[in-house]
Amino acid sequence: MAKESESPTSGDYFDHSASKDSGEKSPLQVPKPAAQRISLYLRYLEAQAAQGKSTISSKELGNALGLTAAQVRKDLGHFGQFGHPGVGYILTDLIPRIRKIIGTDRVWRVALVGMGNLGSALSRYKGFASRGFQITALFDQDPEVVGKEFAQGTVHSMDELEEIVQRENIELGILAVPIEAAQEVAERMSRAGIHGILNFAPKVLPELPAVRSVSVDLTIQLEQLALSISMDPPEGNKES
Amino acid sequence: MAKESESPTSGDYFDHSASKDSGEKSPLQVPKPAAQRISLYLRYLEAQAAQGKSTISSKELGNALGLTAAQVRKDLGHFGQFGHPGVGYILTDLIPRIRKIIGTDRVWRVALVGMGNLGSALSRYKGFASRGFQITALFDQDPEVVGKEFAQGTVHSMDELEEIVQRENIELGILAVPIEAAQEVAERMSRAGIHGILNFAPKVLPELPAVRSVSVDLTIQLEQLALSISMDPPEGNKES
DNA sequence: TAATGTGAAGACATTCACAGCG
DNA sequence: CGCTGTGAATGTCTTCACATTA
């Protein structure tokens, strides 16, 4: 009864093996920061491979990404044994193995909801498709926008969300709607069977059943810059 | 001689008081995670104030943001003493104090470089101006784009970067150029006197003199979703 | 020899739990 | 009495340092 908060902040690990009733398969326990870095590793490795490199050491990889060599080895170590002592990591071996871990060895189908400013720009963004994220359906609430044509097809009405998500086997959603609509749309995505939401609305989404979410909050990022400059101004200010 | 890495990963705190020669003013030492959350607090507090609330407890604030009450108190405690035992935090008092800490009690002037897809969308994004970030100048490398008109004015050629940044007292830059150009443009921004870069190119920027940078990497965010789903699939899969 | 993988140590962040205050 | 502020305890992540392997 001493606990003062009801909301347990839940899993810090990509692992919910704490569930009491079975816990049978304990499927790889990775610290969150390591999981976030693995995508960076993959991208750098791919770039190196594209340039004809065939092996890389933890030190090289670390230097390129601003990390220590030990950190790189520890991070990779959470996912398995990939390296060759005296040699380093072999790109043609490591890259597919990381892709498989992340899940980008296959295509993920994505719904984009909200075709305003940001939504339209995202629909045109090349980086998604080139890494296996296929924007499969577009949605908007505004009758003015529904029916418009984009590269990915016609903009659908929100009414069709559930049906299309299911029919098209869509697993991920990009939420690019105004803040007022964000939570409701997120809940609908969840009910429609979407398992992951990339949220651009400047709002913390509440926990939704069976859904992961990641928020990209542009203003907050600028505020981080402002804060870090405010707290520790770079030297060389004019007007001392 | 035992150290195996040259790159020391540098400051985790918004504080470089480790500089040897004086260390005179030790200007508030805040853990990075706390610094990242302070913007979230501010936004929620403002929303509550706008709804007519006048005080809030750490518990309430924590619940709204998915944090424990203790976490909220500890975080705020890093910046000062703001609360009133038995009462909570008084919004009209706390809000301006946090604004001042972050630096959003004033206007920050921002250059936006790269007026492609994403850059144009960002130039239209309302959220920046409403929180004190004023996009003051637009730049692009493409002669086709230079001269175009946007709400913030004409798109300038890259040649004018240094001059305009200085004349207009621009402190922050948004980097929305293709990956190949990112590093060079970042270096130019740094030389022009910009102190903070919000980077949208999918690349880790190297440390630049007197510049903070924050990266927003859209594909990596989607990969985080994919990874978290891959590692721990939500229950309720059809076709078990 | 050049590099990995990994326990152990250390640094850091979060949570607990309670004294103290209005 | 309710709620903050904060040391102490716990938990997590990073770094160190070295045995190990090709």
The CATH number for A87's domain is 1.10.10.10
Residue B122 and residue B149 share a domain? yes
Residue A150 and residue A72 share a domain? no
Whether A143 is covered by a domain: the verdict is: yes
Q: 10 Å Cβ neighbour count for A190?
A: 20
H/E element, A174: strand A172-175
For position B233, what pLDDT does the model report? 87
Whether A226 is covered by a domain: the verdict is: no
Whether A27 is covered by a domain: the verdict is: no
Asked if the C-beta of A171 comes within 8 angstroms of chain B's C-beta atoms, the answer is yes
Nearest CB neighbour to A198, from listed B68, B131, B221: B221
- Residue B230 in this model has a pLDDT that exceeds 50: yes
Q: Report the predicted TM-score, pTM, of the whole model to 2 decimal places.
A: 0.91
- Residue B240 in this model has a pLDDT that exceeds 50: no
Q: B124 - beta bridge partners?
A: none
- Residue B23 in this model has a pLDDT that exceeds 70: no
- Which of B102, B120, B143 is at the close of a domain? B102
**Alpha carbons B203 and B190: distance in angstroms, whole number:** 17
Picking from A169, A211, A229, A235 by the largest number of B CB atoms within 10 A of its own CB, the best residue to mutate is A229
Residue B112 and residue B92 share a domain? no
Q: How far is CA B172 from CA A203, A217, B40, B132, in A?
A: 24, 17, 21, 12
The DSSP secondary structure of chain B, one letter per residue, reads -----S-----SSS--TT-TT----------HHHHHHHHHHHHHHHHHHHTT--EE-HHHHHHHHT--HHHHHHHHHHH---EETTTEEEHHHHHHHHHHHHTTTS-EEEEEE--SHHHHHHHH-HHHHTTTEEEEEEEES-TTTTT-EETTEEEEEGGGHHHHHHHTT--EEEE-S-HHHHHHHHHHHHHHT--EEEE-SSSPPPP-TT-EEEE--HHHHHHHHHHHHHHSPPS--S--
Q: Do B5 and A59 touch (CB under 8 A)?
A: yes
- Which of A47, A67, A102 is at the close of a domain? A102
In total, how many domains does chain A have? 2
Residue A200 and residue A112 share a domain? yes
Whether B49 is covered by a domain: the verdict is: yes
Residue B54 and residue B125 share a domain? no
Residues with CB under 7 A from strand C: A 2-5, 9, 57-59, 69-70, 73-74, 76-77, 81-89; B 4, 12-13, 31-34, 67-68, 70-71, 73-74, 84-87
For position B2, what pLDDT does the model report? 36
Share of chain B above pLDDT 70, in %: 86
Locate B211 and state its tokens. Answer: 């510049």
Picking from A225, A230, A232, A238 by the largest number of B CB atoms within 10 A of its own CB, the best residue to mutate is A225
How many contacts, defined by CB atoms under 8 Å, are there between A and B?
A: 243
For position B71, what pLDDT does the model report? 98
Q: Do A15 and A28 meet the contact criterion of CB atoms below 8 Å apart?
A: yes
Residue B89 and residue B125 share a domain? no
Whether B191 is covered by a domain: the verdict is: yes
Which has the higher per-residue pLDDT, B26 or A187?
A187
Whether A115 is covered by a domain: the verdict is: yes
What's the order of all strands across the beta sheet hosting A172-175? A149-150, A153-157, A133-140, A108-113, A172-175, A196-199, A212-215
- Structure confidence at residue B52 as a pLDDT band (50, 70, 90): very high
Residue A96 and residue A139 share a domain? no
What's the half-sphere exposure (Cβ side, CA atoms, 13 Å) at A5? 21
- Structure confidence at residue B183 as a pLDDT band (50, 70, 90): very high
Residue B112 and residue B170 share a domain? yes
Residue A175 and residue A113 share a domain? yes
Domain with A115, as residue range(s), is 108-221
Running DSSP on this structure, what letter comes out for residue A13?
Answer: B
Tens-level pLDDT at each residue, chain A (240 residues): 333 433 333 334 444 333 333 333 345 689 999 999 999 999 999 999 999 999 999 999 999 999 999 999 999 999 999 999 999 999 999 999 999 999 999 999 999 999 999 999 999 999 999 999 999 999 999 999 999 999 999 999 999 999 999 999 999 999 999 999 999 999 999 999 999 999 999 999 999 999 999 999 999 999 999 999 999 887 644 332
- Residue B239 in this model has a pLDDT that exceeds 60: no
H/E element, A76: helix A69-79
Interface of B with A in 43-102 (CB under 8 A): 43-44, 59, 62-71, 101-102
Residue A166 and residue A125 share a domain? yes
- Nearest to B218, CA basis, from A176, A50, A16: A176
B130 by Cβ neighbours in 10 Å (0-12 / 13-18 / 19+) ranks as: exposed
Residue A122 and residue A88 share a domain? no
Q: Which residues make Cβ contacts (< 8 Å) with residue A239, sequence separation at least 6?
A: none
- Structure confidence at residue B27 as a pLDDT band (50, 70, 90): low
Residue A60 and residue A147 share a domain? no
Read off the pLDDT of residues B118-138 as tens digits, 9 standing for 90 and up: 999 999 999 999 999 999 999
Read off the pLDDT of residues B94-123 as tens digits, 9 standing for 90 and up: 999 999 999 999 999 999 999 999 999 999
- Which of B102, B129, B156 is at the close of a domain? B102
Q: Which of residues 25-84 of B touch strand D (CB under 7 A)?
A: 57-59, 69-70, 73-74, 76-77, 81-84
Whether A160 is covered by a domain: the verdict is: yes
Q: Is A64 helix (H, G, I), strand (E, B) or coil?
A: helix
Length B98 CA → D8 C1' (Å): 28
CATH of residue A181's domain is 3.40.50.720
H/E element, A189: helix A179-192
Whether B155 is covered by a domain: the verdict is: yes
